[in-house]
Structure 1
Amino acid sequence: MAEDTDKDATTELHLHNSGELLRRAREQKNLSLEDIAKSTRIPQRHLLSIEAGDFEALPGRTYAIGFAKSYARAVGLNDATIGSQLREEMEDQGHGAYQPEDAGYSPDDPSNVPPKFLAWTAAGIGVVVVVGYLIWRTLVLEPGQLAGLSAESESSMTGAAEETPSPILSSQPVAGPAPTGTVVLTATDTVWMKIYDEDGERIFEDQMAPGDTFTVPSNASNPQILTGRPDALTVTIDGQVIPPLGTAQRTIKDVGVSAPALLNRNIDAAGDTVESDN
């Protein structure tokens, strides 16, 4: 029996457009548009446009459906049914793409939006709290107390400055890499390199993986390097890191990699080793 009643109610709803249904429900409750506007916070002109089916006068499809649902709740109709029927009517009249509803925002109930006077009231309360705090500070702390706190703070800062020991500068120079030290080349990325002596005789030639190392023989005659990736090599002398052979992926050749040559080399503004003719 209840199912028949629901079917009859649904059939009755679809016999009239949504605006007419809302108007009839409002009149049955002896409510005016002004009464609905006060309870839903929807402007009367929008309520009148909904009743008349004048969708062009509404701010958009999303708002039209949201207003209609709020109107339905105010007059005791099923808001979901009214919303669905209004959506179908808008689509039938060519308003299906008229400002489509956003998935993340649906103003179904405009009454949830706080009125502007609440925002102004909150701002006023904040100002009163700040002013009250400043007045309290002025009344609680007398001028003499304020002066005492200022003097005490200044004295504390002065004492702390006097107690801070001045740093002792060491006159001993920091030891640097020795000109006769052991040179080690460590790959930080995949890199191919060739090490050869001043006569062009190959000492080492291979592709190195990250973490691989090569120690330049101490008895090599003016060892030099050829590589296309100087930026992928870390150079140390006796374990101390020195400036890289280059900071860019560009080929260098005939660059000395003995300890004296590395310590005496020239580096350009880009941080790359200037190629030597030696």
Structure 2
Amino acid sequence: MADEPEFEPVADDATAAQPSTPGAKLRAAREAQGLSVQDIATRTRIAQRQLEAIERDDYGALPGIPYAVGFARAYARAIDLDEVAIAADVRNAVHNSDMRATRYEAFEPADPARVPSRTLAWTAAVIGIIVIAGFTIWRTQLLTPPTGEEIAEQQAEKPAAAPKAGVQAPIAAPVTGPVVFTANDDVWMRIVDEAGERLKDGLLKKGESFTLPAGARNPTILTGRPQALDVTVGGKAIPPLGAADRTIADVPVSAEALLARAAAPAGAPAGAP
């Protein structure tokens, strides 16, 4: 009787063709969807060479284990594979590869798709520069002495003092005590006497004071921020020397003139003593 031929079991073609590594699974799923590696790179914002390394299961070409796991998860998410299962496969594959000596860290890199775009970063930087520049210009204007045009404009706006018939000018109050200028904010000021000598010329910082010399003859003041000065004569407060942020020039600031200003009725010209 002839010997019966022996048959060896043949592996199922479908089983043999089933991809076994995470890289092969990702590549097979990508090709099944008709996508290129560049398409995946566009979706995930991961470099094409790194995606190709994942498909080859060449994890040594990646920066480290966390990146290998994170990139594989992003790849799986982009083609609707189970990213958790792929991440687990990659971890197992990595620990059996040349990267096993690398200490595994528990964190994974952030999804590159969630990183702010370069356009957004540049826009934020430009806005920040504009804000800083605007503040610098504003602050510089506050501390810059008024120009000749501003002084001329302010003087032109002064109403002429018209004498009133039958009204006697108020008698100036007796002069007592020194004239003191105290800055409630940084302010530039210039005070000169009738000979043109500068008694004070420069920045008076917030909280600083300047006392007018007792012998000053007919001193006048020039400043662009009169509201930043608190003026007293012998401790008595004097009304503001002018409107806020409006340049005043040639305003008398002797003790007599300031006390007369304090005694003047409401509505009197700001520059009049």
Structure scoring higher RCO (CA < 8 A, sep ≥ 6) equals 2
TM-score range, shorter chain: 0.3 to 0.5
Q: Which has the higher helix share?
A: 1
TM-score (norm 2): 0.46
